[in-house]
Chain A
């Protein structure tokens, strides 16, 4: 029974990776996978224990490129990926999956699924990831497949703008406190949190971790307007101001994955648009091109984990749409057009985005695959916003009761 739910979770993970075509075989206990994007590379997934005796010609006739067996051997779950064309086993992965009642059960299965994707395609999947988001002023987490929604805010104060540290063990967010904005860094495993960079009288918001986890960039609103600062988050010291706006606002920093650059929003052209600078604040320049007087306000940039793109949203005819900037060519393309779509956040595979959309009549979180254009709802609840997709989450960060 546990094995059935393991298979069901893995099958959905493979489906949600948007890299395979998953088909149930006659008999109902097997699924077949095919990669539409790689010219006929296909994977099949079977649950039978007789992996060594797999009928390769049969799977080949069905058009499968891979077959995946998931079996139980004592307390170990074994995933075996067969290469149908080569008529042999590509990889066998053994994983200790906790009982299905264990809170770590699903993540362990997701990690197994990611290893299977890695074995088949050479790139890891995004199954073992979570999305943080804000609802009713509180921060929640949810697995990428929509399971296990959980409150992670630890106070009743209004929170905004959760942002992951790149190792997935901590996240930063902003909380209103007596009319000011304080930044906190909270450990995922323990819920323990520390205030960062707060003067008590400023409005600090939109925190973003540097890739090495040492630095937190953020926006600070003062009498002079809003500007971007960095602080050493380890020692809570060494506050540095990166922008001097005077009559314009600078906000919403996001680091490039190499830590060398920061994309951000600036109102220096009149309307907010996407700019970029070196991580020390030098060499500030326009990043996402726009037509002066024509293009609407652009906000909420997030640099992709592979460094090649920056997702953001832009006002188009009075509503917001998600755009992607190609960093190398500095060209933008519009990704969405149905309803209002905003606050995109990258999956670690740099091809999926989670974002807020009201396309179904109310604001909730959706996921789009940039390669296939396939869109699915992550949530079926109204009011979710400001999503932040985690990096790949490794072993459970020692969450002991």
Chain B
């Protein structure tokens, strides 16, 4: 702070002296600073400002690059996280009561999410597989599994999804998920499974 005001005073004195020379030289009231050292100081000053500026610029640039890189990494991660999340939501199974093919009210929400995903991803095609527990008749379960797959398909279609984008299958009781012989296992096995046929890359999250 102190040096700054000194420089201002010196500069002012030089200008006054120069104007006074034209008519009558003023008396040397103030000591003349060495012009060379002032210039050097000024150069040093300018140099240090430039260097500081360059350093600041470099740091800013590096920081910006780092932020950009981070943002890019973050968004890629976010993107794949989204696709994964969407895929998981799409694959969430729904379940049924014994010998029933009616969509449970709590499962309607799961199907609503699939509707949104199918709407956000126009090229996505899926397959619904209907499954049964081992309690019913082996062959009848093929018809029941078909009903279960059709029930999910009809729900999706009635919510605006093109029927051509949904295939159905029935596996009856042939592919149990849980191997036990009690209600805990049976309730898991009475289900619809959902899988992607095509258009499942870069799944978009419904907006």
Interface residues of A (CB under 8 A from B): 137, 158, 160-161, 176, 179-181, 203, 205-206, 219, 221-223, 225-226, 249, 251-252, 265, 267, 271-272, 297, 299-300, 313, 318, 320, 342-343, 385-386
Contacts and interface: CB of A to CB of B under 8 A. Distances in A.
By Cβ-Cβ distance, the 5 closest A-B pairs, closest first, are A221-B146, A299-B137, A179-B169, A226-B143, A249-B143
Contact of B140 (A176, A180, A272, A385): A272
A343 B174 contact: no
Given A137-B174, A299-B139, A318-B135, 14 more contacts: A160-B172, A161-B139, A179-B129, A203-B146, A223-B153, A223-B168, A225-B147, A225-B150, A249-B143, A251-B143, A252-B140, A265-B140, A299-B137, A385-B138
B174 A249 contact: no
B99 interface: yes
A206 B139 contact: yes
B179 to A, nearest CB: 13
A320 to B, nearest CB: 7
Nearest to B175: A158
A162 to B, nearest CB: 12
Contacts, number: 78
Interface residues of B, number: 23
Given A203-B170, A297-B99, A249 B147 contact: yes
Nearest to A161: B139
Contact of B139 (A180, A205, A318): A205
Nearest to B153: A223
Contacts of B168: 223
8 contacts: A179-B171, A226-B142, A249-B146, A251-B143, A252-B139, A299-B139, A300-B137, A386-B138
B142 A299 contact: no
B146 A225 contact: yes
B135 to A, nearest CB: 8
Nearest to B130: A221
Given A221-B170, A223-B168, A297-B99, A181 B137 contact: no
A179 B168 CA distance: 9
B191 to A, nearest CB: 15
Contacts of B147: 225, 249
Nearest to A203: B170
A342 B142 CA distance: 16
Nearest to A340: B135
Given A160-B138, A342-B137, A219 B143 contact: yes
Contact of A297 (B137, B146, B174): B137
B127 interface: yes
A158 B176 CA distance: 14
Nearest to A363: B134
Contact of B136 (A160, A180, A297): A297
Nearest to B129: A179
A181 B143 contact: no
A313 B137 contact: yes
Contacts of B136: 297
A386 B169 CA distance: 21
B139 A251 contact: yes
A345 to B, nearest CB: 13
A378 to B, nearest CB: 18
The residue in B142, B147, B174 that gathers the most chain A C-beta atoms within 10 A of its C-beta is: B142
Nearest to A249: B143
Contacts of A271: 99
A52 B139 CA distance: 56
Interface in B125-164: 127, 129, 135-140, 142-144, 146-147, 150, 153
Contacts of B129: 179
B137 A158 contact: no
Interface in B99-122: 99
Nearest to A179: B169
Contacts of B135: 318
A219 B139 CA distance: 10
Contacts of B139: 160-161, 205-206, 219, 251-252, 299-300, 386
A206 B136 CA distance: 16
Contacts of A205: 139, 142
A272 B147 CA distance: 14
A310 to B, nearest CB: 15
A157 to B, nearest CB: 11
A226 B138 contact: no
A313 B138 CA distance: 11
B142 A158 contact: no
Contacts of B127: 179
Given A203-B169, A297-B136, A158 B174 contact: yes
A205 B143 CA distance: 9
A313 B147 CA distance: 22
Nearest to B157: A223
Given A179-B129, A180-B169, A203-B169, A225 B143 contact: yes
Interface in B28-55: none
Contacts of B146: 203, 221-222, 225-226, 249
A318 B171 CA distance: 22
B146 to A, nearest CB: 4
B155 to A, nearest CB: 13
The residue in B99, B146, B169, B172 that gathers the most chain A C-beta atoms within 10 A of its C-beta is: B146
Contacts of A265: 140
